[in-house]
Amino acid sequence: MENKKRIKLFTIGVALGSIVMYFAVFKNRNVFKSPEEVVLGRMIDHPMKTTDMAACKLGCYQLEGGDLKLYFQKADVSFSDSKTHEKPWPIYTINSEPYTFYCEMGENENMLIDIVRMDGTDTCSCK
């Protein structure tokens, strides 16, 4: 009889501990996201800085920050073309018709490095 009470109390403790851990640690994480969803989510949610060349191309292609978020929402991440082991931050290749974006993903902010037209008709003279 004593063992049954101990097992019951142990089970209740494990269940309560699991619930507390879920809400304390895992409440803001979705463990069912694909790597592509994680990368694109961080690109959309974190602030985006630009290099001089990317800023020039944004102006040339008449794109704004809000436009980038719309492109990222319907984009695909090309992991085979990305430099995921680049130091200090990985560089991801993000394809969204008609552009390919090269973005560096930092801890708290991202850097738009370059924009290239997919069809190869690059009319900008940015260097």
Query: For the segment 65-106, what is each residue's pLDDT rounded down to a tens digit?
Result: 778 888 988 999 999 999 988 888 999 999 999 999 999 998
Q: Where are the domains of the chain?
A: 1-32, 35-117
In 26-98, DSSP assigns E strands to 48-50, 76-83, 91-96
pLDDT at residue 126 greater than cutoff 90: no
At 31 the pLDDT is 66
Q: How far apart are CA 117 and CA 124, in angstroms?
A: 10
Candidates 3.30.2310, 1.10.3470, 3.30.70, 3.40.50; CATH matching 35-117:
3.30.2310
Closest CA to 109 of 60, 43, 65: 43
How does residue 124 score in pLDDT terms, banded at 50, 70 and 90?
confident
Query: For the segment 38-61, what is each residue's pLDDT rounded down to a tens digit?
Result: 899 888 888 889 999 999 999 888
Q: Where is pLDDT greater, at 62 or 23?
A: 62
